[in-house]
Amino acid sequence: MQGPDERGYFGEYGGRFVPEVLVTPLQALEEAARAAFDDPSFWAEFHRLLGDYVGRPTPLSTAANLTAACGGATIVLKREDCNHTGAHKIVNAIGQALLARRMGKKRVIAETGAGQHGVAAATACAILGLPVEVYMGSDDIERQALNVYLMQLLGARVHAVTAGSRTLKDATNEALRDWAATALETAYIIGSAVGPHPYPYIVRQFVRVIGDEARATSLERFGRLPTHVVACVGGGSNAIGMFSSFLDDDGVRLWGVEAGGRSINTVGAHAATLEAGTPGVLHGARTLVLQDADGQIAATHSVAAGLDYPGVGPEHAQLKATGRVTYTTVTDDQAHDAFELLARHEGIVPALESAHAIAFACHLARGLLSDDLVLVNVSGRGDKDAVRLAQTHLAMTRA
């Protein structure tokens, strides 16, 4: 597995495209992160919290009923929904909060889309005694009301962002503005493997525990590695965490699943950056971006708030360029069907983000042999989505 070069690039993607006021804070963050990563005591505390507080390692579950329903390959689930707070986001939040405390920061900020990173950041800061403020688009606040309440319950102050599309992109903009003005005392806990260097590298180093666990358990239980690994991709943290441990295994095919929304062929009706994006700069990094011919950021749509983002982490852009990971799309309707399918056959209610990966994994499995193993990352649980879907179901029933 290759890290970024000395400039923070993965191939032609990455870097640090920020106002001058953020150059020094980013350099300080990089120095602090590299020192922490070389310190065994830092990792000891990180893994202690993951074990004693978060509840890792998460299970690797053979989905026998889903396998029978889909036919073909055996489907195996990496159960990130079993984490404390219900998603993989807590792993990155704990790591970055420990780094913030190590740097002596007195205040933490974060951005969130689906709310899972906001809840994770609030949780990590609660256990470590750090005050936290979370930026969230007003549209996402409406569709993820449960997570907003949980953030507030955990002691976070939630800022509603009403600019632009009122979703994750705009929440990230506001968090970066805050950090630019307050960087001396503030740590910005970014929620995905995106942003200016060193954030994509830092996030990957924390979330790679997902793939490390999955790889080790697969070898222990099955005596071999999976033939296919599948994860959903918005900004890309759960996917890069899962993929990172398999990148050097040529016999393992890696699949990233983006939000096809209502239509991949209509601008503003999807969030498939790797499928339809072009090189550009977003939130401090050169990556693939959904944009028009003039470089203006395009509108996006996904039924899953955590995938509703017009960019992607720069390492994913490079993995697409090299062909090591194949990226594909799943529509809103297909994700909703997979949401119900997993619940009915396995008693697991996935996040709508994760349901995109489940939908593609089922499609993939049907064309494979029973000896093949399809490992899919269930990046989070669907409590946050169930309330909204229940309201829609009730309205349809009454109609």
| Catalytic residue (one of 78, 80, 89, 384) | 89
Closest by CA position to 62, among listed 350, 330, 345, 339: 345
Q: Is the peptide bond between 198 and the residue preceding it cis, with omega within 30 degrees of 0? A: yes
Closest by CA position to 324, among listed 224, 240, 260: 240
Closest by CA position to 358, among listed 373, 337, 384, 372: 337
User: At which residue do the structure tokens 């350099």 appear?
Assistant: 27
| CA separation, residue 267 to residues 20, 124, 160, 277, 347 (Å) | 33, 37, 26, 11, 36
Catalytic-residue membership of 218: no
| Catalytic residue (one of 78, 105, 111, 320) | 111
Closest by CA position to 85, among listed 56, 48, 43, 44: 56
Catalytic machinery residues: 89, 111, 379
